[in-house]
Structure 1
Amino acid sequence: MKSHSSVNQRPAFTLVELLVVIAIIGVLVGLLLPAVQAAREAARRMSCSNNFKQIGLAIHNYHAAYNQMPIHGSGTGALPGSGNEVWNNSNQRNNTRLSMLVGLTPFFEQQALWEQISNPQPGFNAMGPTPNVSTYAPWNTEIPGLRCPSDPGEGLPALGRTNIAACLGDSIVMQTFGPTDDNGIKTANAAQEARASCRGAFVVHSPAAFRDILDGLANTVVAGEIASDLGDNSISTVARQEDGAALYLNPSVCLPSVDTTRPRFWKAGVTTGGSGFARGYRWADFGPMFSGFTTILPPNQEICMGDAPETTKATSPRNLPSGQNHFKELVATPSSRHQGGCHVLMGDGAVKFITDSIEAGASRATAGAGAMVHVGGTGTASPGQQSPYGLWGALGTRANKETISSDF
């Protein structure tokens, strides 16, 4: 009889063939993973862009309702007199320290949050306390529409974080007081300073409307992206402090403090203003560190803070108490966790991605060539002059008549 033991037998894989198959699979996985990561980041970037589009719609709907944009630096005012200055903390009033994002909340699907803020809460009056009061629930709220999915920042010492900030223009003079004095009251001298220097779409403590943007809504940045601080000594999320007068004349005065071997970080030992004073830490706070930015240095560059007194002003220099860093003036660049740049929102609602290499004129010039526009300034720093900071500065001014002839 014939044996059938060898019927249907197949030859086994050799060790060499098995190793080859494993190697091929390893190469394919190695090629696939970067593509997956890139796809995930592209999706996060698209989601971030959509958040800006929602803010753009909210600004336009707000303007349609009130014939103006939301005020950056609004709310219940400080009491007159010494000891009641706007930088003092209070549970009964917010001392006009609310960001423009607070007024926008009912216009980007946060009606319930707005109702909490606009009505009295136990222990707090309507419109809440100053934005650093951590026991007030709305200021602690993380709002998904204000966060970029690429930004991993979360938790203390921040309150509710934001990755969206208001454009404050191309000069830091009067950046945190606008046309008002220490008690939030408008004065002639302060108004003169603010008219000359506060050239962005938003001017703190002042109403602004689309009619004020004479350069055209499509040519003017109204909001931009900021990365929230991770506690890693990053140059774009914490500030180096320098003399205010020197900063007016040279916006790059902090550059020598950047670590040359790791140019996204400050050198070891550089003073950066305290653990609670960092980028994007309070969505409800109008301070430029928390919810504002300037079009002076290009995106993702260093944040530089001016110390009082600043002798270049016509108004009396502010005598800020120790620790009131949120009222000091900052060259506050926009920033992001995306590669190579950040999003900005134009006045017409368009969202653009601005690269780190955008042309920024004299922002890196020294010896006064890059001086900021202010009352008493001369040459390119005199009131009414075109922005010293090239295309980037021109995009941040609302009514300066610069011609933007190329795409960006």
Structure 2
Amino acid sequence: MSNRVYKRPSFGFTLVELLVVIAIIGVLVGLLLPAVQAAREAARRMSCSNNFKQLGLAMHNYHSAYNQLTTHGVGTKSGTLNGPLVSGGHMYQVFNDHNAMQLSALVGLTPFFEQQALWEQVSNPLWVDSNSNGTIDAGEQYPAMGPHPLTGGVVYTPWLTEIGMLRCPSDPGTGLPAKGRTNYAVCLGDSQRTEASGGRNAGLELDGGHYAGWDPDGWVTNARAAQRGMFGKHRQGRFRDVLDGLSNTIAMGEIATYLGDRDVRTSAANRANSHVAVTNCDNDPDPARPQFWEASVPVDVVTTRSAEARGYQWAVANMMQTGFVTIKPPNSLTCAGNARQAGVFGASSNHQGGAHVLMGDGAVKFITDSIEAGDQQAPNVRAANVQGVKSPYGLWGALGTRASREVISEEF
């Protein structure tokens, strides 16, 4: 009889084998994760492009219905010829009984991009039971077309609504104090001075309104001359006005929204005025972090107007919120003399290397940060030097103007 002892075969892993397997898995995850992230960003970028295509269809359908573009800076008003809007008031004061002609072009497009229910609320008188007591109290009944969109303490739900069609999935901004963000803005041309200042903006009200011709200081003349884009504040535009051709002219552009981090693209350094060169703020970013403003630079949205930042309040027609100009290339710094009305407010995005634009013919293009932008030392385009001139800001500036006889002969 044999005394041999038989060992049962072992089916486990040694510690070395286990560590090797874990190391291999870690390497594979490290290799695959960037690819997965890139695929997700590609999907988000495609979704953003599709949003723009829908806005392009909405813009064309609106024009087919009304034979004009939706107006940027439109709505209801009241007042007298002796004052901007009301005694002691001004264009940017919050009113509950009218909106001071400050609605953005996006408001009129809402029924054309599947927001009919929201449009019904806006276009009819609306009761908002803000204190939930079931009774119509003071300040809860709003007229058709709503109150001033710079809502302040006003609780008007349409202006506070976050619309999915107006959001790029790559933008992480959400919630207060934005009061309804948008990543899509109308193109106002290639000039910092696309709006007049304060109450004098009323002189632009739809050419023929009761303020027409009231321009004692020339603010309106300068603003109208500088409105060289497809859209202009208080200007009724039409496709026939786009003499450069719809395929050569930008209608809307993508903008990143402000995240409260002093990003140079989404918060305006309050250093320049509306007459100076566009380079006035070029030395203001932090040398250690060029994407953010230096701590000593006054940034208007961080101090006195925190709710009025880039991409906030989609219903507001100020350049800060819903407009952009083709001066500095996409994702460049923002600089302003008045954070709401005039300045270098460019296109921007959270996509790598550029931003989307919507052309007048409905095509969506991705414009890189390296697009040719001409002479960045050129003076601001104003009434004194605007007549018949080509844009000083190169290809980028030419794409933003509607009638400077600048036809793009090649793909960009």
For the aligned pair, the TM-score class normalised by the smaller chain equals 0.7 to 0.9
C-alpha distance 18-186 of structure 1, shift in aligned 2 (>3 A): same
Q: Match for residue 266 of structure 2?
A: 237
* Whole-angstrom CA distance in 2 between matches of 1:190 and 1:301: 27
Deviation, 1:267, is: 0.2
Structure 2 contact 194–232 (Cα < 8 Å) conserved: no
Deviation, 1:303, is: 1.1
C-alpha distance 3-387 of structure 1, shift in aligned 2 (>3 A): farther
Q: Match for residue 145 of structure 1?
A: 165
* Whole-angstrom CA distance in 2 between matches of 1:166 and 1:3: 93
C-alpha distance 8-336 of structure 1, shift in aligned 2 (>3 A): same
Which blocks of at least 5 consecutive residues in structure 1 are unaligned?
A: 308-324
The 3-state SS of whatever aligns with 1:305 is strand
* Whole-angstrom CA distance in 2 between matches of 1:157 and 1:300: 23
Give the aligned residue type for 2:143.
Answer: N
Q: 2:278 aligns with which of 223, 231, 251?
A: 251
Cα deviation code 1:258-281 (max 9, x no counterpart): 112211110003111131221011
Q: 2:406 aligns with which of 384, 387, 402?
A: 402
* Whole-angstrom CA distance in 1 between matches of 2:174 and 2:186: 21
The 3-state SS of whatever aligns with 1:344 is strand
* Whole-angstrom CA distance in 2 between matches of 1:278 and 1:304: 13
Cα deviation code 1:240-294 (max 9, x no counterpart): 11242xx534111011111122111100031111312210111000000100000
- Corresponding position: 1:263 with 2:290: yes
Structure 1 contact 386–394 (Cα < 8 Å) conserved: yes
Q: Match for residue 147 of structure 2?
A: 129
Report matched runs for 1:260-299 at 5 Å: 260-273=287-300, 274=304, 275-299=306-330
Cα deviation code 1:63-114 (max 9, x no counterpart): 0100011000000024123324322210000000000000000000000000
* Whole-angstrom CA distance in 1 between matches of 2:145 and 2:236: 18
Deviation, 1:9, is: 3.6
* Whole-angstrom CA distance in 2 between matches of 1:270 and 1:194: 28
Give the aligned residue type for 2:327.
Answer: I
Q: Match for residue 354 of structure 1?
A: 367
C-alpha distance 217-2 of structure 1, shift in aligned 2 (>3 A): farther
* Whole-angstrom CA distance in 2 between matches of 1:27 and 1:58: 47
* Whole-angstrom CA distance in 1 between matches of 2:71 and 2:4: 91
The 3-state SS of whatever aligns with 2:181 is coil
Give the aligned residue type for 1:396.
Answer: G
Q: 2:98 aligns with which of 93, 100, 103?
A: 93
Report matched runs for 1:154-165 at 5 Å: 154-165=174-185
Aligned-pair RMSD on alpha carbons? 2.3
State the identity as a percent.
56
Q: Match for residue 186 of structure 1?
A: 212
Count, aligned residues: 379
Report matched runs for 1:147-226 at 5 Å: 147-176=167-196, 181-182=201-202, 184=205, 185-187=211-213, 192-226=221-255
Deviates more, 1:397-406 or 1:58-67: 397-406
* Whole-angstrom CA distance in 2 between matches of 1:94 and 1:3: 102
Which blocks of at least 5 consecutive residues in structure 2 are unaligned?
A: 128-140, 206-210
Deviation, 1:180, is: 6.2
Structure 2 contact 188–232 (Cα < 8 Å) conserved: yes
Q: Match for residue 371 of structure 1?
A: 379
Deviation, 1:10, is: 5.2
C-alpha distance 78-298 of structure 1, shift in aligned 2 (>3 A): farther
Deviation, 1:11, is: 5.2
Cα deviation code 1:196-220 (max 9, x no counterpart): 3110000110110111111111110
Query: What is the TM-score of this pair, normalised by structure 1?
Result: 0.87
Query: What is the TM-score of this pair, normalised by structure 2?
Result: 0.87
